[in-house]
Chain A
Amino acid sequence: MMEMTIVQAINTCLSQAMENDETILCLGEDIGKNGGVFRVTDGLMERFGERRVVDTPIAESAIIGAAVGLATRGLKPIAEIQFLGFIYEAMDQMVGQAARLRSRTEGTVTVPLVVRAPYGGGIHAPELHSDSLEALFLHSPGLKVVMPSTPSDAKGLLAAAIKDPDPVLFLEPLKLYRTIKEEVQEEYYEVPIGKAAIVQEGEHVTIVTYGPCVVTVKQAVAQLQEQGVSVEIIDLRTIAPIDYGTIIQSVDKTGRLVVVHEAAKTGGVGAEIAAVIAENCMYAMHAPILRVTGYDTPFPVSSIEAEWMPTVTRIVSAVQNVMKE
């Protein structure tokens, strides 16, 4: 075991994967000598050379489109989009191309591609550097979307994403890149895609969350515990496909559900989960399902981002509301 941040965990995973598999190559903007703007790929070019760690021109559509071309010809590209907000430039290549090729060829052409991108607010970044756009991809059949919140999940889920035969969007919570440290297994291991984690068991209410909000939810739950509320926290870890089984089982037990995510509310991951719970757990429910999310606006300027993102106060208040029922 070794103490690592999320940045170190991802870097270690990339390095180990590339060492074991010559077909893996990384491509993206500033990922080579510079090691990526967040240093996630630091040292990889020195270690594996310019053939396998490739600095690209600034062209997101080409990064994903070329990666689709590489993936369909026997290689395993790991593409980096510098900030998730820039992926709009590559939407056709992600959704119209990478996600669809297996389906439109009945599995005769597959796209074993990993796209990594940091997302989320809280670091006072300029416009379009903080957006959480995961719901766009939840609504894009053919893709998997992985959103770890801890160093050990980041390392294991990235390994699973690399092994996955389908295109995986691997989203990295940039606010947590260096703020959490934990003991991580040094040897290569996988955490299965599509399995949620029960971070904490509880009896009264289920909170489903993922990514950077896991940390905020934990802080809120500490306060709620003092008030005698027992909360079950589920970290989704993967938002496509969603681990419905784990959520349904938990809500059947608690009868109350609050979903917390940083992305805008309407049409988001929370909406999907609320619908599935309504379909499956209606008679177990003691209270309406609530969502604590970003507002239905573009991610705002940095001066007000802390208030825009789900806060401990808003989460505590939502739980108190469902506990009234």
Chain B
Amino acid sequence: MWLNQSCLEGEVEMWLNQSCLKIDTASVLDEDCSLSETFFKRTATDEQCIEMYKHMVQGRIFDGIALKFQRQGKIKTYPPIRGQEAAQVGSAYALNSNDWIYPSYRDIAASFVHGMPIDKFFCYTMGKMAGQHLTDLSIFPIQIVIGAQFLHAVGGAWASKYKGEDSVSVAYMGDGGTSEGDFHEALNFAGVYKLPVVFFIQNNQWAISNPIHKQTASQSIAQKALAYGITGIRVDGNDVLAVYEATKLAIEKAKNGEPVLIEAVTFRQGPHTTADDPTKYRDQAEVEEWLTNDPIERMKKFIITTGLWDERQEEELLNDCEEIVLKAYEKALTIEKTTIPKVLRATYETMPQNLVRQLQQRGEV
């Protein structure tokens, strides 16, 4: 299950190539959505299973409303999360509140699980800087540049180690980000300094229009860990229980100075953002195929079959989730707008002469 340096020992011939590595995709739920403990023991309690399910549904309801609001002009560009709820929720749910996350723009459900109020994300998509006030939360500001946050997570983990804090930093990224230099530099630093960091990749198969096989010639993203002397694991990213267990174990390893790269195999069901039209570059057949493996449907089947959930509860949940999102949007509307003077004042702790001058020219000093 774990890819580490020992996978390269033993029968390795002179040339190291893809055939030296056997890669499984670890799961907990099998094809029929029943429990299989081939890879992990399920440690999530029944209550935790239900909580994770609720978080996933909350994420999807938010996603649907956000898409609608973007079309209505209530919010600006939005990057949908549909299809990636298990990967985001299962990973973030495994964290303690003092663990840090370093999210990219799409890691919205993970951020919600880790405590980001929904109204903050609405603010962000409405162009209100208050959306990035995450004081008292262990959530780094949303990253836009692909891969840059991996290095911040390395620095954050380094700070934890330096100060002797019992905290892990978890960095989120997509498959496309693994081609960036910052990804490789981050893994290298993590390995060299043995930092308490977990790199969580959602391999959603597409980086805007570029499919995974054009992103990398590696047979997995998880195996990239080996090049940096850290541990890798490939997990079924549409199986929330598997993602949860993998992340939990990875955190334990990271705390012991063994950084981990997790590849969660999943699928971006929607467009890259509301500005993107995926029919231009990908086959509907591929989408249909992945829809049969929907992370929320799978978990729902599991909890209904095991008697933890029923349709009445489902209906109640859907209503609750919608109400929460709509209330959050109403709250975001009341939050103070960003203004030019605010921006001029926020660039440095003390405004330098040039900014003071620019403020004066607007007649605002």
**In the assembled complex, B162 has its CB within 8 A of some CB on chain A:** yes
Chain B residues touching A, majority SS: helix
Contact partner of B346 (CB less than 8 A), chosen from A67, A92, A106, A165, is A106
How many of chain A's residues have a CB under 8 angstroms from any CB in B? 48
Task: List residues of chain B with CB within 8 A of the CB of A70.
Answer: 155-156, 158-159, 162
Task: List residues of chain B with CB within 8 A of the CB of A295.
Answer: none
**In the assembled complex, A48 has its CB within 8 A of some CB on chain B:** no
**In the assembled complex, B132 has its CB within 8 A of some CB on chain A:** yes
Instruction: State whether A65 touches B159 (Cβ < 8 A).
Output: no
**In the assembled complex, A108 has its CB within 8 A of some CB on chain B:** yes
Binary contact track A56-80/B, C-beta < 8 Å → 1, others 0 = 1101011011111111111101000
The 9 closest A-B pairs by CB, nearest first: A69-B155, A65-B151, A241-B352, A73-B159, A62-B185, A66-B155, A69-B152, A59-B185, A70-B155
Contact partner of B141 (CB less than 8 A), chosen from A51, A65, A69, A104, is A104
Which residue from chain A places its CB closest to the CB of B188 in the assembled complex? A57
List the interface of chain A (C-beta within 8 A of B): 25, 51, 54, 56-57, 59, 61-62, 64-75, 77, 92-93, 96-97, 101-110, 141-142, 144, 164-166, 194, 240-245
Binary contact track B117-133/A, C-beta < 8 Å → 1, others 0 = 00000000000011011
**Would you give the shortest CB distance from A173 to chain B, in whole angstroms?**
23
**Would you give the shortest CB distance from B259 to chain A, in whole angstroms?**
13
Binary contact track B278-322/A, C-beta < 8 Å → 1, others 0 = 000000000000000000000000000000000000000000000
List the interface of chain B (C-beta within 8 A of A): 100, 129-130, 132-135, 140-141, 145, 148, 150-160, 162-163, 169, 181-182, 185-186, 188-189, 192-193, 342-343, 346-349, 352-354, 357
Task: List residues of chain B with CB within 8 A of the CB of A141.
Answer: 347
Q: List 6 A-B contacts (CB under 8 A).
A: A65-B155, A66-B152, A66-B158, A68-B151, A241-B354, A245-B353
Whole-angstrom distance between the alpha carbons of A293 and B155 in the complex? 38
Instruction: State whether A74 touches B163 (Cβ < 8 A).
Output: yes
Which residue from chain B places its CB closest to the CB of A71 in the assembled complex? B155
Task: List residues of chain A with CB within 8 A of the CB of B357.
Answer: 244
Contact partner of B154 (CB less than 8 A), chosen from A66, A194, A240, is A66
Instruction: State whether B132 touches A105 (Cβ < 8 A).
Output: yes
Instruction: State whether B152 touches A61 (Cβ < 8 A).
Output: no
Given A72-B140, A105-B129, are A65 and B186 neighbors across the interface (CB < 8 Å)? yes
**Would you give the shortest CB distance from A201 to chain B, in whole angstroms?**
22
Contact partner of A92 (CB less than 8 A), chosen from B140, B148, B193, is B148
Task: List residues of chain A with CB within 8 A of the CB of B130.
Answer: 106
Instruction: State whether B152 touches A97 (Cβ < 8 A).
Output: yes
Whole-angstrom distance between the alpha carbons of A71 and B154 in the complex? 12
Whole-angstrom distance between the alpha carbons of A25 and B161 in the complex? 13
Task: List residues of chain A with CB within 8 A of the CB of B152.
Answer: 65-66, 68-69, 72, 97
Contact partner of B348 (CB less than 8 A), chosen from A92, A102, A108, is A102
Task: List residues of chain A with CB within 8 A of the CB of B145.
Answer: 92, 96-97
Instruction: State whether A165 touches B354 (Cβ < 8 A).
Output: no
Contact partner of A69 (CB less than 8 A), chosen from B158, B181, B343, B348, is B158
Instruction: State whether A65 touches B148 (Cβ < 8 A).
Output: yes
Task: List residues of chain A with CB within 8 A of the CB of B192.
Answer: 57
Whole-angstrom distance between the alpha carbons of A73 and B162 in the complex? 11
Whole-angstrom distance between the alpha carbons of A64 and B155 in the complex? 9
**Would you give the shortest CB distance from B115 to chain A, in whole angstroms?**
15
Instruction: State whether B182 touches A62 (Cβ < 8 A).
Output: yes
Instruction: State whether A108 touches B132 (Cβ < 8 A).
Output: yes
Task: List residues of chain B with CB within 8 A of the CB of A75.
Answer: 159, 162-163
Task: List residues of chain B with CB within 8 A of the CB of A110.
Answer: 349
Instruction: State whether A69 touches B162 (Cβ < 8 A).
Output: no
**Would you give the shortest CB distance from A140 to chain B, in whole angstroms?**
11
**Would you give the shortest CB distance from A72 to chain B, in whole angstroms?**
7
Whole-angstrom distance between the alpha carbons of A219 and B133 in the complex? 52
Instruction: State whether A69 touches B151 (Cβ < 8 A).
Output: yes
Task: List residues of chain B with CB within 8 A of the CB of A241.
Answer: 352-354
Which residue from chain A places its CB closest to the CB of B336 in the assembled complex? A106
Instruction: State whether A242 touches B148 (Cβ < 8 A).
Output: no
